Amino acid sequence: MLQTVSLLMLIAITTPSIAMLPSNPAGKKTTELRSQQLINRLEEIKGMDKSEMARLEKKALRKEVKDIKKEMNASDNKGVYLSIGAVIIIILLLILLL
Considering the domain boundaries, does residue 90 fall inside one? no
> What pLDDT score does 35 carry?
87
Confidence band for 8, pLDDT divided at 50, 70 and 90: low
Q: Which are the contacts of 42, defined by CB distance < 8 A and separation ≥ 6?
A: 65, 68
- CA nearest 45: which of 64, 20, 18, 71? 64
Considering the domain boundaries, does residue 69 fall inside one? yes
Structural domain of residue 61, as residue ranges? 51-77
Considering the domain boundaries, does residue 27 fall inside one? no
Please answer whether residues 25 and 62 qualify as being in contact, where contact means their C-beta atoms are separated by less than 8 angstroms: no
Q: What is the tens place of the pLDDT at every residue in 16-62?
A: 545 555 555 666 678 888 889 999 999 999 999 989 999 999 999 99
How many whole angstroms separate alpha carbon 16 and alpha carbon 66? 31
pTM above 0.85, yes or no: no
In the chain, the percentage of residues whose pLDDT exceeds 70 is 67
Q: What is the mean pLDDT of the chain?
A: 80
Considering the domain boundaries, does residue 30 fall inside one? no
Domain count, the chain: 1
Please answer whether residues 38 and 72 qualify as being in contact, where contact means their C-beta atoms are separated by less than 8 angstroms: yes
